[in-house]
Structure 1
Amino acid sequence: MSAHASDLSYDKEKGTILDEATIPVDAAPEDAIVRRFGRFGPFLAKLFASGVEARGVERVPEDQRETKNMWNNLLMWWSVNTVLTTIPIGTLAQAFFTLTLPHAIATILCFGALGGVATAFISTLGPQTGLRTMIITRFSSGYVGGTIYSILNILTQLSFSVTAVILGGQTLASINPGTLPLVVGIIIIGVLSVIPCFVGYHLVHYYERYAWIVIFIIVCFLWGLGGHAGYDVSAQKPLEDTGRSLSADILSFGGIVFGSFTGWAPVAADYNCRLPADTSRMKVFLLTFFGLWIPICFVEILGAALMTITDPAYTQAYAEGSTGGLVAQTLSPWGGGGKFLLVLLGLSVVANNIPNSYSAGLSMQSLGRPFALIPRFAWTFLAFVIYTVAGVAGREHFSEILSNFLSILSYWTAFFIVIVAEEHFIFRRKGGPLGGYNLDDWDSPSKLPLGVAGVLAGCFGVAGAVVGMSEVWYTGPIAQKAGGEFGADLGFELAAAFSAVTYPPLRWLEIRLTGR
């Protein structure tokens, strides 16, 4: 660990904060935290001794890496996405864009593959650097740019968490209507989500290693029960747009699908930064890609398929209870057994919400040194409070929150991924202008890039998103010309393109002038 990673310490005799230089540079994170908090040190020491993770955004040195079964990487993403939360994304194909099932499936598979590739690339940087994702952004966008990305990621993970607790709460409340208030259901999901995150990295991985098994079986049951109720592939045909309007619908829904994949990109390196540095990059890439693409497509397509059931009981269930009501109706033929499965489905969102909560805490630490001084678990608890309160406040507007959030999410993740990728492959490549990463500089603003190139390229990305977005509240000029009545959402495509074109020359000039 670098000297900067040691933070500050508390002198109990003098009652003053010591300079960070007084703590050994190789001090373990728990030792630094215990010393820093003085009279609270013994309590924190017991907390860490009980298994709570002390390490936050500090780099994991090579000699402290752990050899893990690489298949855990695939199983984690499988658990995170084989959940109830993924189903409503598929339902948006018909509910908002009137697509037929074949068009919905093609859109999910194609845009999902694109998003999966982008996220899998980011995941490969974890073992290479030993750093959390938001800290990695400092090597392309500097300390200031990394802070901006951290703010965006905090909003992203909290928004993901809000949708998760609302949907989980809706599902629990729909089991016996009038018995469990929706607010109580939301709080239950929030509490269950924060427990593994509070403990930390190892419990997160342990839970996610097995959580997918039961839910995958239940999802298969849903496929079968939906088929028994009667999928109608042409159900949306009379409502589906044609020509440019159809293209606009596909592009707009595709942006949402892309966002459901790349929403994991800003946290993808967080969960394998403890793997050995010589871990096969291709294996990390492939396991992450298929760990995302297979379950997300499988479950999103299920959501689209359930929307083709024309039985009035199913259409009414969706109208009155959104996705939770639709799933409850699908399981209703099994009576009490169906209700039990519905409970498990409602609780499945915990697996989806765990990485949101855990990484939100890390992103709060990534805002800067003063924030990194506060232990990771404290930020994780604050994130829990925020998204639970927001979930209670927005519980009646789930579909609107999901649709708008995922569209906007795809905009910033698109240019974030492009900037990090260009820095990695152009400027940090072996033989490139910088020749690699000096990983000890991760918390040294004077040695990191100024960040002017990264921030400006990000601003160009925002400009691309603005002219290409198509939302209920705003449609950009290019989006208007590209689609039908409501425009085609080209936000993430243009955000990525604008940043991709502007970042290399700006970064080259920055290196030429500053040497870093």
Structure 2
Amino acid sequence: MDSLDLEKSDPNQTFEGKVLDNSYDGEGKVPVDAMVEVDVEPQTGIRGWLRKIFTVVELRGIERVMPEDRQPKGVMNNLLMWWSVNCVLTTVPIGTLGPAVFGMGLRDTILSIIGFTILGCFTTAFCATLGPKLGLRQMVISRFSFGWWGAVVLSFLNIITQIGFSIIAVILGGQTLVYVCGSKLPLTVAIIIVSVVTLLICFFGYDLVHKWERYAWILIACIMCVLYGTGHEYFSWTPSTSSGSTLAGSVLSFGGVVFGSVIGWAPIAADYNVMLPEDTSSWKVFWLTFFGLFIPLVFVETLGALYGSALINNAAWNDIYNNPEAGLGSVLGASLSSLGGFGKFLVFLLALSVVSNNVPNTYSAALSIQTLGKPFQRIPRFLWTIFVAVVYTVAGVAGKSNFSDILNNFLSILSYWTTPFVVVLALEHFVFRRRTGYNVDDYGDRTKLPWGLAAGTAGIIGVVGAVIGMNQTWYVGPVGKLTGPYGGDLGFEMALVLTSISYLALRTWELNHVGR
């Protein structure tokens, strides 16, 4: 491909009346066909307005961020961003499932939330450390273990994952807006409003995403504290309705949901660290990401567990919860109703908090689409964000009456592929790349990347293990049946063990016989 040698420090240079989109190839050059046609002369009217928009829209896609283009600071964003992403309305229903769906008491629910959240935080925090080291997006990094075509499959799965998260967010946010506005606002319109606000932030890219997430958590955390106070008289510390092996099965199944909600961020964690310098401390990135996830998740899911217990003591709230046009958002609204108009204003802000959760889903789904191949990469990221938003908006409108089922099944199944994904990346990084490291210039050359046979086979074995251990309403695996009369979900545990054993053996064979 013909290319132009340019100073990489200026991401928006011009050449012969064209603005370049800071997309670098492996040699630090900008491909000629990566240029965006924009008249560089001052314009007025529509053309001038469009030009102003495109000067602030991030045009960089999955291309590597070169070391000299990194920002000298910003590591604290790991803590604040993940705090904002998870201190949102969308996190509350996860904790509610413990008492409301699995019949668990508050003590067992909260202990499960803490334990399985810790496990999930380790996986996502590890993935986050790879961003500064390599300057590559998470799905592109997977090419160094799964190979080119394996990364294509993973990118497709990640697109589905992020869209699934987005569907949950827009439905819950829409339901809560309906509570605020009443019958004047149809749920379908409310879902569209949430999607549009999300799109506006994602459209402009990396910098605006970080700026939004840096501050969004503050007000929402205060509202969560108010919810702890307004609902306390209905919180019930009753024990679990089961014991022994039956309770163990419920803990495993609920734990799979909690774990899935955390590890679901692992396939995109590095996307938000690529602008950090290469010499950024990996331990600092790890622990800031870890606590940026752990603190808000436990804080908000515990609130959800308390409101899940309150449904037992408050028949009116239980009726609201089971109404598909209302749901948990309206229950929280009923709890804040004692504050009058101010309470409704807090519910409105709570509804819009799902945007913070939905922004990384939309942004990273667009990047995953570009990772599907070079034809997809030629289409700018910001156009793919529009496509993603349209897809999850339509799906959210279609699935608005089945929120609890979508939440429970989606988050449980999510860990069935993300667990093998993280295990392979971790073993590749700590075992097989410990001495050789990564030749980052190879990320776009499929002939220099691993074949991906070992990773792909180990991943499939891990997924088979997950199926054997799963416990869903539509299928219970033979291992999943072993815990109690109703079974327990051991899907991600089985996937972790089988993927680890198989990848260590298969990757050793692959390196000895294939050499890459």
**TM value normalised by structure 2:** 0.91
In the alignment, which of 81, 96, 99 is matched to residue 76 of structure 1?
81
SS in 2 for 1:106: helix
In the alignment, which of 316, 320, 327 is matched to residue 319 of structure 2?
316
Q: Alpha carbons of 1:410 and 1:47: their partners in 2 closer, same or farther (altered >3 Å)? A: farther
Partner of 1:287: 288
Partner of 1:461: 462
Partner of 2:236: 232
Partner of 1:428: 433
Partner of 2:492: 492
Q: Alpha carbons of 1:355 and 1:475: their partners in 2 closer, same or farther (altered >3 Å)? A: same
SS in 1 for 2:182: coil
CA distance in structure 1 between the partners assigned to 2:504 and 2:2 by the alignment: 30
In the alignment, which of 374, 377, 384 is matched to residue 379 of structure 1?
384
Cα deviation, 1:171-227, whole Å, max 9, x if unaligned, reads 000124312110010000000001111100000000000101110100000011111
Identity percentage over the alignment?
51
The CA deviation at 1:393 is 0.5
Cα deviation, 1:296-326, whole Å, max 9, x if unaligned, reads 1100010001122213332222223321121
CA distance in structure 1 between the partners assigned to 2:249 and 2:26 by the alignment: 58
Q: Work out whether residues 26 and 442 of structure 2, in 8 Å CA contact, stay in contact via their aligned partners in 1.
A: no
In the alignment, which of 399, 403, 423 is matched to residue 408 of structure 2?
403
Q: Work out whether residues 328 and 339 of structure 1, in 8 Å CA contact, stay in contact via their aligned partners in 2.
A: yes
The CA deviation at 1:155 is 0.2
Moved more, 400-409 or 305-314: 305-314
Q: Work out whether residues 38 and 51 of structure 2, in 8 Å CA contact, stay in contact via their aligned partners in 1.
A: no
Which blocks of at least 5 consecutive residues in structure 1 are unaligned?
7-12, 14-21
Q: Alpha carbons of 1:2 and 1:362: their partners in 2 closer, same or farther (altered >3 Å)? A: farther
Q: Work out whether residues 25 and 63 of structure 2, in 8 Å CA contact, stay in contact via their aligned partners in 1.
A: no
Amino acid at match of 1:413: T
The CA deviation at 1:50 is 2.4
Which blocks of at least 5 consecutive residues in structure 2 are unaligned?
7-15, 17-23
CA distance in structure 2 between the partners assigned to 1:391 and 1:381 by the alignment: 15
Q: Work out whether residues 93 and 99 of structure 1, in 8 Å CA contact, stay in contact via their aligned partners in 2.
A: yes
CA RMSD of aligned residues (A): 2.5
CA distance in structure 2 between the partners assigned to 1:47 and 1:200 by the alignment: 15
Q: Alpha carbons of 1:23 and 1:364: their partners in 2 closer, same or farther (altered >3 Å)? A: closer
The CA deviation at 1:69 is 2.8
SS in 1 for 2:444: coil
Partner of 1:19: none
CA distance in structure 1 between the partners assigned to 2:252 and 2:129 by the alignment: 28
CA distance in structure 1 between the partners assigned to 2:40 and 2:168 by the alignment: 36
Q: Work out whether residues 130 and 273 of structure 1, in 8 Å CA contact, stay in contact via their aligned partners in 2.
A: yes
Moved more, 357-366 or 326-335: 326-335
Partner of 1:192: 197
Aligned positions, number? 491
Q: Alpha carbons of 1:445 and 1:107: their partners in 2 closer, same or farther (altered >3 Å)? A: same
2:28 matches 1:26:
yes
Cα deviation, 1:265-291, whole Å, max 9, x if unaligned, reads 000000001100000000000000000
Q: What is the correspondence of 1:310-349 to structure 2 with a 5 Å cutoff? A: 310-320=313-323, 321-349=326-354
CA distance in structure 1 between the partners assigned to 2:494 and 2:308 by the alignment: 31
Partner of 1:437: 438
CA distance in structure 1 between the partners assigned to 2:346 and 2:474 by the alignment: 38
CA distance in structure 2 between the partners assigned to 1:377 and 1:69 by the alignment: 23
Amino acid at match of 2:117: G
Q: Alpha carbons of 1:364 and 1:336: their partners in 2 closer, same or farther (altered >3 Å)? A: same
